[in-house]
Amino acid sequence: MKKSRFLQKTRIYPELPRQPNTSVIDLFKYYTYSGAYNGGRLAEACQIYEKMIEEDATICLTLSGALTPTGLGGFINQLIKNGLIDFIISTGANLYHDVHFALDLPVHQGDFRVNDVDLLKEKIVRIYDIFLPEETLLKTDEFVQKVSKDFSPGETVSTACFHRFLGDELTAKVTKSDYSILVTAAKHDVPIYTPSPGDSSIGMNLALLKMLNNELVIDTDLDTLETAAIVFDSKKTGAVELGGGAPKNFYMQAQPMLSQIMNIEKGGHDYFIQITSDAPHWGGLSGATPSEAISWKKIKPNDVKNDVVVYCDVSIAAPLIFSYILSKKHKRNLKRLYTKREEHLENLKDRYNK
């Protein structure tokens, strides 16, 4: 690729920081003792995450916006390998940009103060202070189209099924497999759902193939049923929600899907961690508090607080929380929920029919 003057800063890779002498655990001891402001909320988030692990809750990670271009995938991959994330609900954008890393395509640090007209001339796109050469996008599009042409399941599929196929295809072709959430999730049978698959470049590529009479049909109704079935079959459930948006609601709605639509009472999710910069008083779902969610039967009304909102930039708070959890060397057996989707659906269907 032609080296632009805008691409002179360090390339971004989703690798874990190598600073063995830095004690994140000691840092959070301070936060726990002070309990003040969002430092205190960070400490609460770590404690709740540990509760979910200790009680073997089914843990969902939700990803809003475009977080993978920051390199956050290194943490997520390690959490998956350690059995600390059981399924994922994400925007399509996060998965599209994840493919860049799997294919070893450049994603660079940039500067938000740049003249975007100059970027346009250089064929570079910007996500705030992250720069991506247009060729990174085009090569990703080429890969998605090429492999998706060969995907003919013979029936409508959930987004989890398609993302598993994409992860398997990347596994067979890439050299940077440890950089990709799609690849790591496929290897460890972690299903990945996208509530709005058309709202991303992956969806745009699939739309083109559909116009060309490709047989692949994705049915998001299956996503709704599969996630509800996972929640139904879990003794305890909880989420680590990075941002808000559709992924947050898609996870939370699994409980009203059961109680309101199917008349199956689970009482709500047991644990809830959200990192957000959205305030509740604007009325948007991204800023909606756990207490509001109780009225919808999305969260259990516990005496002991098992929910927390950390008002902070995700790129600051998430690496801190994940570093703490990984530093404590937590590890669980993999639930491998992808391979159990049909079983969970049958269990839910039997319960509803009764």
**Could you report the per-residue pLDDT of 249-306, keeping only the tens digit for each?**
999 999 999 999 999 999 999 999 999 998 888 888 888 888 889 999 999 987 578 9
Residue 21: φ, ψ to 5°: -90, -5
Among residues 271, 273, 221, which one has the least CA distance to residue 250? 221
Q: Are 236 and 270 in contact (CB under 8 A)?
A: yes
Between CA 170 and CA 98 the distance in angstroms is: 11
Number of structural domains (the chain) is: 1
Question: Residue 244 falls within a domain, yes or no?
Answer: yes
Query: Domain limits at 183?
Result: 45-353
Q: Are 59 and 163 in contact (CB under 8 A)?
A: no
Active site residue 298: yes
**What's residue 272's pLDDT?**
96
The pair of three-digit structure tokens given for residue 253, joined into one six-digit string: 């709605």
Q: What is the pLDDT of residues 241-257, one digit of tens each?
A: 999 999 999 999 999 99
Question: Residue 24 falls within a domain, yes or no?
Answer: no
261: DSSP letter: I
Q: Are 152 and 77 in contact (CB under 8 A)?
A: no
Residue 87 contacts by C-beta under 8 Å, 6 or more apart in sequence?
Answer: 58, 60, 61, 160, 190, 191, 192, 193, 227, 230, 337
Between CA 53 and CA 332 the distance in angstroms is: 8
Helices 159-173/220-232 angle, 10° precision = 90
**What's residue 53's pLDDT?**
97
Domain at 70, CATH number: 3.40.910.10
Question: Residue 10 falls within a domain, yes or no?
Answer: no
Distance (Å) of CA 202 to CA 40, 82, 92, 95, 319 = 38, 28, 7, 8, 26
SS3 254: helix
Q: What is the pLDDT of residues 54-71, one digit of tens each?
A: 999 999 999 999 999 999
Q: Are 140 and 69 in contact (CB under 8 A)?
A: no
From the candidates 139, 248, 266, 298, give the one annotated as an active-site residue: 298
Helices 220-232/245-252 angle, 10° precision = 50
Q: What is the pLDDT of residues 163-220, one digit of tens each?
A: 999 999 999 887 666 789 999 999 999 999 999 999 999 999 999 999 998 888 999 9
Instruction: Say which residue the tokens 């910007």 belong to.
Output: 126
For the residues of 148-167, what is the DSSP string, one character each? Answer: HTT---SS-B-HHHHHHHHH
Give buried/exposed letters for 249-266 (b at 16+ CB in 10 A, else e). Answer: bbbbbbbbbbbeebebeb
Question: Residue 35 falls within a domain, yes or no?
Answer: no
Question: Residue 34 falls within a domain, yes or no?
Answer: no
Between CA 14 and CA 67 the distance in angstroms is: 11
Question: Residue 335 falls within a domain, yes or no?
Answer: yes
